[in-house]
Amino acid sequence: MRRFEWPTALLLLATAGMAVGPRFIVPTLAPEYASAWWEPLQHSLLLLGLLGNFLLYGRHAGLIPWPALVAVFLLILSPVVTVWAPHELALGTRMLHALSAWLVLALPWLAVVPRLQPGSTRYYVGGLVSLALLSALLGLALHFGTEWRAWSAWNGTLYRLQGATRADYFAGLAFGGVVVAVHEWSRRRSTVMGIMATVNAILLIYSGSRTALIVLGAWFACYLAFSPSLRSRLSPRLVFAIGSVGLASLLHFPVMRTRMSGLRSGELDLSGREPIWASFFSHFQSRPWLGLGLGSAQPGVLHSMLPHNEFLRLLVEGGVVGSAMYLGSILLWTRRVRMRLHEEDRPYLVALMIAMPLYSLTDNPISACYIAPFLYLGTLISRDTTTQVLATND
């Protein structure tokens, strides 16, 4: 078995921990902070793993994480513009909220900066595509061995699967598993990855996440349009895989239809997002230009829940100015990363950067579980950089 240095081992462990995360740890240690701090703890572990690889193996030259630098600027600006809950929350707690928000905005773009330990990418990719399945298996054990409910039923039909975590985060794990496995299958000709793509797609269907399913369809359409490698892989096996996913969708359709429109009203059901959006939008209107400061949209500050819209979250925390800087820096980052990728890996990035804004309209995809596709980008750059070095030496 390959020996991993400590930062890579920590990164592998933190990634595997996303199948459950610190959801069951923090409530035991500090129940009053359970809803606010379990995700930042996961982010911190991932950041430590990336930082360790950066210190030990260096970084990829020319890949400046511009969005993370803008997030640092917003973090520094926060004490100046922050007006949220100055009396209700202690200064230390407000600083922790701001740091948690910085992790959310910075971590995806930091994932491609450090070089990874040579020889570790195959193991890491295998872990990324196995997260949802691992969560489902752990959820089954918890379902029958504890009071944890890994799924719920409606009229005798499986209503929603959440594995060993929350259903929306489980959907994020499955979504990441699909996009990573599909690319590995088309690029590396891996049968195992083709199977994992199918398994993750079925798990995603039964997570009940409407947004994730729609975005996955958009991602696959874009990837198919941009990737000659995927189009060349069209075969009876692919038809069988798509048919399996289609059958799972058909079996789950009655439940999904109920979640989309309800049985009586026939109106689109947004699962209570409207009042959340209205609340956060009113906060944005109170300070439209510079926002209310980083951390103001964290759970337990202005609202008990996240905004379920990444653009609204940006507007509340950074205002129009901060949001424009952050979104502009993402475009610059995408351009630089695309230039560093192998030609056959670029369609994956382009499709991902089209899909994520769609995901961000009704959810908060830049979080611990949804970060898997960005972590995979780091393996692609490390893998292609190693290949280029070996070719040069030959």
N-to-C CA span, the chain: 28
Calculate the alpha carbon distances from 195 to 52, 138, 192 in Å: 33, 20, 5
Residue 78 lies in a domain: yes
Residue 285 lies in a domain: yes
Q: What is the pLDDT of residue 367?
A: 73
CB 209 within 8 A of CB 162: no
Question: Is residue 299 classed as helix, strand or coil in its secondary structure?
Answer: strand
Residue 323 lies in a domain: yes
Distance from C-alpha of 10 to C-alpha of 336, rounded to nearest angstrom:
28
The number of distinct structural domains making up the chain is 1
Of 154-163, 196-205, 267-276, 354-363, the least confident: 267-276
Check whether 24 has a pLDDT greater than 80. no
Q: What is the pLDDT of residue 393?
A: 39
List Cβ<8 Å contacts ≥24 apart for 238-244. Answer: 238/194, 241/194, 241/197, 241/198, 244/198, 244/202
Residue 143 lies in a domain: yes
Of 136-140, 246-250, 331-335, the least confident: 246-250
At 6, the amino acid letter reads W
**Each residue's pLDDT tens digit, 34-79:** 555 677 888 899 999 999 999 999 999 889 999 999 999 999 888 7
Check whether 206 has a pLDDT greater than 90. no
Residue 350 lies in a domain: yes
Residue 84 lies in a domain: yes
Neighbours of 4 (CB within 10 A): 17
Average pLDDT, the chain: 84
By residue range, what is the domain housing residue 272? Answer: 6-393
Confidence of residue 390 (pLDDT cuts 50, 70, 90): very low
Mean per-residue pLDDT for 319-329? Answer: 96
Residue 1 lies in a domain: no
H-type alpha helices, 262-309: 273-286
Q: Is the dihedral of CA 18, 23, 24, 30 positive or negative?
A: positive
Instruction: Please name which of 211, 178, 261, 93 lies closest in space to residue 186, comparing C-alpha atoms.
Output: 178
Confidence of residue 83 (pLDDT cuts 50, 70, 90): low
Q: Determine if the pTM surpasses 0.85.
A: yes
CB 305 within 8 A of CB 299: yes
Check whether 394 has a pLDDT greater than 50. no
